[in-house]
Structures are given as C-alpha cells and as structure tokens.
Amino acid sequence: MTVRIGVIGTGMIGEEHARRITQQLTGGEIVAVTDVNQEQARAVVDRLGLEAKVYEDGQALIQAADVDAVLVTSWGPTHEEYVLGAIAAGKAVFCEKPLATTAEGCRHIIDAEIEAGRRLVQVGFMRRYDSGYRMMKDAIDGGQLGEALMVHAAHRNPEVPERYVTPMAIHDTLIHELDTFRWLLDDDYQSAQVVFPRKTRHAHDQVADPQIVMLETVKGVRIDVEVFVNCRYGYDIQCDVVGEEGIARLPEPQSLQFRQAGRLSNEILQDWKQRFSEAFDVELQAFIDGVAAGRIEGPSSWDGYAAAIAGDVCVKAQESGAIEAIEMPERPAFYG
C-alpha cells in the first residue's frame, strides 16, 4: 500500500519534505499540494516531477478522496486550522512545529483527537529521530548513566535575520529542546528561569543574545540550555547528560579530521537542515509507515501541547527574570 499524501504549504520545508518522500523514502507518494502562493505550488510540482493535483486551499486538499494523509508545512498561524481539518476528516496529519501558536490551540487539537478516538497527529520534532539523540536515549533507558541528574545543553546558530526577536529564542529555537528533554528523560518540567548574559556585539537590537534557560523537571533534573543565535562559528547542538554513574555527550556530526595550516580540525556545520537531514528522513518514514500500519507513534499532540505550555512559561520568565512555575495539566489516558 502506498500512502497518498497531500502537502499544505510548499515553502522551503514543504518542498524539501515532498522531495524526500518522492526521491528518498519508501511507501509514500505526493498526490496533492497547495500553497497560499499557487504558482509556487505549481513550481514545486514541476521541479520534483510530481503527479500531484494543485488545490485551491488546504481544506479542499484535506477533503480530497485520494488523499490518505496530510503534511502541514504552511505558515505557523495556520497550523491549528489545518490539523483540526484533517482530524475532522479522519485523516492522519504530520504537522511541522508549532502544532499551534498557542497552548489553547494545541488543547483544541487534543480535544478533537481524543474525540476522534485514535491518534491522527504527528508533530515535527525531528530530533527524536536523530541517531545521536537515539544513542543518548538508549544509554539513559538502558541504565548506563544511572538516574539522570543534570543536562547541559547548547543550541547555537551562526546568525539570525532582523525579524528574529527575543521571544523567538524560545518559540523558534528552544522549542526543540523543550520537546527533546521531555522525551529523553521521560519527564515533565516544573519550572523555568531565563538569564541574559552580556550581549554579543553581533546581535541585532531587537534580540537579547545569548540567553541561558534553566529548567527543572518533576523528577528534579536540572537542565541548562545556552541559546546563542549569533554565535558566528556554526550551527552547533550540544548536549551532555550527567547521571549518577557517568556522563554521556551527544556525538559531533561526522567529519574528516584535518591536519592543515597549523590546526588539527574538524568542520562544524553551518546549517540546521544539514545537521538534521537524516533525522528528517527517518521522521517522515516513520510517519508514512505509521499511516500505512494505522498506528501513529511519533511525537503526539500532547507533546506539542507540553512544549507550547513550557514555551509560554519560558517567555514569561524572559520578561520577569524570576523562577516561573510550569504547570502541566494531567495527561489524558489517551496519550498514556
């Protein structure tokens, strides 16, 4: 069985996902696309040589009889509407982050999905599919570190555009860590604090950069994440998990070691798309396989909701400078 997929939003990430499904992955086929810019949608169909119909809008695409599953890769504020539409149509939907731009929006989706009676939504938290994080998860779950006590992490980008402002350090950047650590530690957050180091001269006026976000989990694990989006030197994701019996560090991306010009060196990547390229493949393959098997198992609406709640508190903590409590509602048995 081939899963017939419709793509809502054919910008960079939408096109890239369509390309993966068409050229690299197995079991899926793009049969429908749409975008607010219909010409762009048509251009993607041409570039990738798809046999796909171009729809006028997302809801029409969702309703199409030959669409088994939907990819939501449109502008963030439209995600909630399309995910709800897919659920209403009883169709599986893969939604890039954010699931919705507000925690309330996420809650609507959760309510609808529970109402529908089965999991239909997978959220695009691709790090869960990264081979390095998977090794880390295995080490923790296998007890190699004993109980986890602390996480030291960093999320660094070489630079960000003018439109990137302080709260985006949470909603656009930290959001990945917010999901990753819940999953990695099998835990939830109970508080957040944000401190602002001296600002780098490379940051624009409207962004406090770097920031350090400190999280505490229900189990008492303390997490510090450096978010530094104008670090200049590269795109760099660091994660050390400190446990009772030892420490594990996330692998650096594979690269040649050079001896050249007075330096012993390895390349550092510049682009997040390259860093998580394989993770995107594995993530989407998991979605396609899940749809085919009638069993979606990746990051759920609940995970999207939890990240949204934690994100909102982190932004509050950015503003207050205080330690802010994170209160997660009780998890419905549906997402047990």
Q: Which of 37, 104, 115, 135 binds its own copies (CB under 8 A)?
A: 135
Q: Which of 214, 272, 277, 316 binds its own copies (CB under 8 A)?
A: 214
Contact between residue 302 and residue 331 where contact means Cβ atoms under 8 Å apart: yes
| Ranges within 257-296 binding its own copies (CB under 8 A) | 257-268, 270
Q: Which of 42, 226, 277, 316 binds its own copies (CB under 8 A)?
A: 226
Taking the complex as a whole, how short is the minimal distance between the CB of residue 297 and its own copies, in angstroms? 17
Q: Does residue 220 belong to the site contacting its own copies (CB under 8 A)?
A: yes
Residues 6+ apart with CB under 8 A from 219: 147, 148, 185, 187
Which residue type sits at 109? I
179-212 per-residue burial string, b: 16 or more CB within 10 A, e: under 16: bbbbbbbebbbbbbbbeeeeeeeebeeebbbbbe
Residues 6+ apart with CB under 8 A from 308: 98, 99, 100, 102, 103, 105, 106
Taking the complex as a whole, how short is the minimal distance between the CB of residue 217 and its own copies, in angstroms? 8
- Mask of contacts with its own copies, 170-189, x by CB under 8 A? --------------------
Taking the complex as a whole, how short is the minimal distance between the CB of residue 55 and its own copies, in angstroms? 25
In the complex with its own copies, which residue's Cβ is closer, 53 or 222? Answer: 222
Taking the complex as a whole, how short is the minimal distance between the CB of residue 113 and its own copies, in angstroms? 29
Q: Which of 16, 116, 234, 272 binds its own copies (CB under 8 A)?
A: 234
Contact between residue 191 and residue 215 where contact means Cβ atoms under 8 Å apart: yes
| Ranges within 24-83 binding its own copies (CB under 8 A) | 24-26
DSSP state string for 185-222: HT--EEEEEEE--S--TTS-TT---SEEEEEEETT--E
- What is the distance between the alpha carbons of residues 76 and 56, in angstroms, rounded to a whole number? 19
Q: Does residue 212 belong to the site contacting its own copies (CB under 8 A)?
A: yes
Which tokens is 275 given? 């860093």
Residues 6+ apart with CB under 8 A from 245: 144, 145, 146
Stretch that binds its own copies, among 17-25, 59-67, 69-77, 80-88 (CB under 8 A): 17-25
In the complex with its own copies, which residue's Cβ is closer, 93 or 215? Answer: 215
Residues that bind its own copies (CB under 8 A): 23-26, 131-132, 135-136, 139, 144, 146-150, 152, 195-202, 210, 212, 214, 216, 219-222, 224, 226, 228, 231-234, 236, 242, 244-252, 254-268, 270
